[in-house]
């Protein structure tokens, strides 16, 4: 298997481009999903930082969907022969604003494919770099990490939890339910069955309940910073370290640095275990939204 996995490095350098539009209905629907009481967006309004995640979903024909609900592997992403796929983290820099009504252009490239030996067997990490541009130039540049894992052996204990930080200057608690996950998956055209198919996620993948979307967890952490920081966010690096589940409260916390230039952000599950850890940096010239 290791030799087969090493061949996946041939996908490094593969590129893909796409075009999408920042539309009024999509921005309005994401605001509603995040439970934000905001006026109807209009053309020219700046897109809130981080909301670009609703752009550029992977769209394939129904016959090209794999058994987990994702597009079958081997088109742009490499055909990793491991059954479990999860969002592991991202590093994103906000260069300039996107605006409602913009035509946005995306260029993605596979930067790395790494094979590792994990506690439950072999894992493959795929790193994808993406640049998003508006008609005015580069707006967002980010790297995403996707991890593929083998099924754990029967009786394998879960990894020991890491405790989340005890104190936080910024706090928020969100209890996601199946409707919230469904709405976010619909917005992002995400067919991954772990987010809505209870028999599949419990019977096939062995989770206790529907799994919180990793991108949504990251966005909620970003929203905490956006609501509390004195300056706009310009960079965020995040790692998803533990799955979260519906109908269980998620505690989001943030601790800004003394100079206000950066902050530690995190999300903890209902037991206090760390689920997401992030580092944020803020603009220092006083400009921005």
CB contact at 8 A, 140 and 94: yes
Q: Is residue 287 part of a domain?
A: no
Which sign, positive or negative, has the C-alpha torsion 25, 30, 33, 37? negative
Q: Is residue 158 part of a domain?
A: yes
> How are beta strands 84-94 and 262-268 bridged, if at all?
unpaired
Q: Is residue 130 part of a domain?
A: yes
Residue 116 pLDDT class (50, 70, 90 cuts):
confident
What is the rounded average pLDDT of the residues 243-256?
97
CATH code for position 12: 3.10.129.10
| CA separation for the pair 240, 214 (Å, rounded) | 7
Q: Is residue 289 part of a domain?
A: no
Give residue for tokens 């409602």: 100
pLDDT at 288: 38
pLDDT at 287: 41
pLDDT at 155: 67
For residue 22, how many other CB atoms are within 10 A of its CB? 24
DSSP-assigned beta bridge partners for residue 166: none
* Cβ partners under 8 Å of residue 186, min gap 6: none
Count structural domains, the chain: 1
For residue 187, how many other CB atoms are within 10 A of its CB? 17
Asked if pLDDT for residue 270 goes beyond 90, the answer is yes
The vertex-179 CA angle with 89 and 160, nearest 5°, equals 40
pLDDT at 140: 98
| CA separation for the pair 121, 153 (Å, rounded) | 9
* Structural domain boundaries, residue 239: 2-282
Query: Per residue in 70-81, pLDDT tens?
Result: 888 777 889 888
Rounded to 5 degrees, what are φ and ψ at 61? -65, 155
DSSP-assigned beta bridge partners for residue 123: 116, 149
CB contact at 8 A, 78 and 110: yes
Is the overall model pTM greater than 0.85, yes or no? yes
| CA separation for the pair 196, 37 (Å, rounded) | 26
Q: Is residue 152 part of a domain?
A: yes
- 116 is written with which tokens? 């590792």
For residue 2, how many other CB atoms are within 10 A of its CB? 8
Q: Is residue 170 part of a domain?
A: yes
Rounded to 5 degrees, what are φ and ψ at 10? -60, -20
C-alpha distances (whole Å) from 54 to each of 31, 86, 104, 159, 178 are 11, 18, 12, 31, 19
What is the rounded average pLDDT of the residues 144-158?
79
Query: Per residue in 202-217, pLDDT tens?
Result: 998 889 999 999 999 9
DSSP codes of every residue in 147-158: EEEPPPPTTPPP
Closest Cα to residue 21, out of 83, 78, 104?
A: 104
Average pLDDT, the chain: 91
Q: Is residue 128 part of a domain?
A: yes
Q: Is residue 81 part of a domain?
A: yes
For residue 260, how many other CB atoms are within 10 A of its CB? 12
Asked if pLDDT for residue 183 goes beyond 70, the answer is yes
pLDDT at 1: 58
pLDDT at 176: 97
């Amino acid at each position: 298997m290791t030799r087969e996995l090493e061949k996946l490095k041939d996908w490094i350098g593969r590129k893909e481009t796409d075009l999408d539009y920042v539309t009024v209905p999509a921005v309005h629907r994401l605001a509603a999903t995040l439970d934000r009481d905001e006026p109807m967006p209009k053309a020219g309004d700046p897109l809130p930082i981080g909301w670009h995640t609703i752009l550029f979903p992977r769209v394939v024909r129904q016959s090209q969907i794999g058994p987990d609900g994702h597009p079958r592997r081997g088109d742009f992403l490499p055909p990793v022969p491991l059954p479990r796929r999860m969002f592991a983290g991202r590093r994103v820099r906000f260069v300039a604003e996107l605006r409602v009504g913009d035509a946005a252009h995306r260029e993605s490239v596979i930067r790395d494919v790494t094979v590792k030996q994990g506690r439950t067997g072999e894992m493959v990490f795929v790193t994808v770099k993406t640049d998003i541009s508006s008609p005015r130039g580069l707006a967002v540049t980010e790297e995403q990490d996707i991890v593929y894992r083998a099924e754990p052996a029967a009786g394998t204990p879960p990894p020991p939890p890491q405790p989340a930080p005890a104190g936080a200057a910024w706090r928020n608690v969100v209890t996601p339910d199946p409707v919230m996950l469904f709405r976010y998956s619909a917005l992002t055209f995400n067919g991954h069955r772990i987010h809505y198919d209870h028999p599949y996620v419990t019977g096939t993948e062995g989770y206790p309940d529907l799994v919180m979307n990793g991108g949504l967890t990251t966005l909620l952490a970003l929203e905490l910073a956006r609501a509390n920081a004195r300056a706009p966010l310009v960079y965020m690096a995040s790692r998803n370290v533990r799955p979260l589940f519906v109908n269980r409260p998620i505690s989001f916390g943030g601790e800004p640095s003394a100079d206000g230039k950066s902050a530690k952000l995190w999300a903890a599950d209902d037991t206090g275990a760390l689920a997401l850890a992030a580092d944020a940096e803020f603009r220092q010239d006083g400009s921005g939204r």
